[in-house]
């Protein structure tokens, strides 16, 4: 369904922060903010929920550790417990120090890579993906705040003009 959105442009991150706070105070829902670089505190001002990606990373690390332990235990202890240079292969615990480097590396490997993949999936990033950039200037030196219009075009225009926007556009947008 196509809907109308209002796009306000800013050329300073401080002005943008104040604008976001003002729009939030006026109880309008901010659809999206496009920035050329991370603006410290913007997520808090917009009221976005904190990310849970660190929790996923911890869980992936636990998976990696388990994979390492199960793999080394099966290969080195259960399947073919050879005597290699006098290492005690009678039980996992007895030979554990030799496995710790693998356990550590696999924990880090799983935690890092699966977290990155999670990030790509959740933020819908992949090669050949069509860029969702509403205006090319937002990757260079402009900040853009986008608000959906619900029969309140003039009111929103006045509010945004008041917050120091350098340009205000109305455009049609297809929701994905």
Partner 1 sequence: MYTFSNRLKIGSIILMAVGLLGIIGGFVMAPGTVEEAKAMVASHDGGHGESADAHAAVVEHGDGHDAAHDEHLLHQLQNKPWAALYVAAFFFMMIALGVLAFYAIQRAAQAGWSPLLFRVMEGITAYLVPGGIIVFVILLLSVLHMNHLFVWMDSDVVAHDALLQGKSGYLNPTFFLIRAAVFLGGWIAYREYSRKLSLQQDESSDNSKFVLNFRISAAFLVFYLISESIMSWDWIMSVDPHWFSTLFGWYIFASMFVSGITVIAMVTIYLKSKGLLPDVNDSHIHDLAKFMFGISIFWTYLWFSQFMLIWYSNIPEEVTYYVTRIEDYKLPFFGMIAMNFVFPLLLLMNSDFKRVNWFVVLAGIVILAGHYLDIFNAIMPATVGDQWYIGLSEISSVLFFAGFFIFWVFRALATAPLQPKRNPFIEESKHFHY
Considering the rule CB under 8 A, would residue 84 count as an interface residue with partner 1? Answer: no
Distance from chain centroid for Cα 129: 16
The smaller minimum CB distance to partner 1, of residues 58 and 90, is found at 58
Question: Taking CB under 8 A as the rule, which mask of x and - marks residues 11-50 in contact with partner 1?
Answer: ----------------------------------------
Contact 159, 24 (CB under 8 A): no
HEC profile of 64-120: HHHHHHHHHHHHHHHHCCCCCCCCCCCCCCCCHHHHHHHHHHHHHHHHHHHHHHHHH
Select from 54, 59, 117, 121 the one that contacts partner 1 (CB under 8 A).
54
Considering the rule CB under 8 A, would residue 98 count as an interface residue with partner 1? Answer: yes
* Residues making contact with partner 1 (CB under 8 A): 54, 58, 86, 97-98, 100
């Amino acid at each position: 369904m196509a809907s109308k959105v209002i796009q306000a442009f800013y050329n300073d991150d401080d002005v943008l922060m104040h604008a976001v706070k003002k729009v939030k105070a006026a109880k309008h829902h901010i659809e999206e903010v496009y920035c050329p670089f991370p603006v410290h505190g913007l997520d808090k001002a917009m009221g976005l929920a904190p990310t849970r990606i660190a929790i996923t990373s911890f869980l992936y690390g636990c998976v990696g550790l388990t994979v390492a332990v199960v793999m080394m235990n099966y290969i080195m202890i259960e399947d073919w417990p050879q005597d290699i240079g006098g290492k005690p292969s009678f039980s996992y615990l007895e030979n554990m120090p030799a496995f710790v480097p693998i356990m550590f590396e696999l924990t880090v490997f799983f935690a890092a890579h699966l977290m990155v993949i999670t990030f790509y999936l959740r933020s819908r990033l992949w090669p050949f993906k069509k860029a969702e950039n509403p205006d090319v200037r937002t990757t260079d030196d402009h900040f853009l705040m986008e608000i959906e219009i619900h029969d309140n075009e003039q009111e929103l225009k006045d509010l945004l003009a008041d917050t120091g926007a350098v340009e205000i556009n109305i455009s049609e947008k297809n929701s994905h």
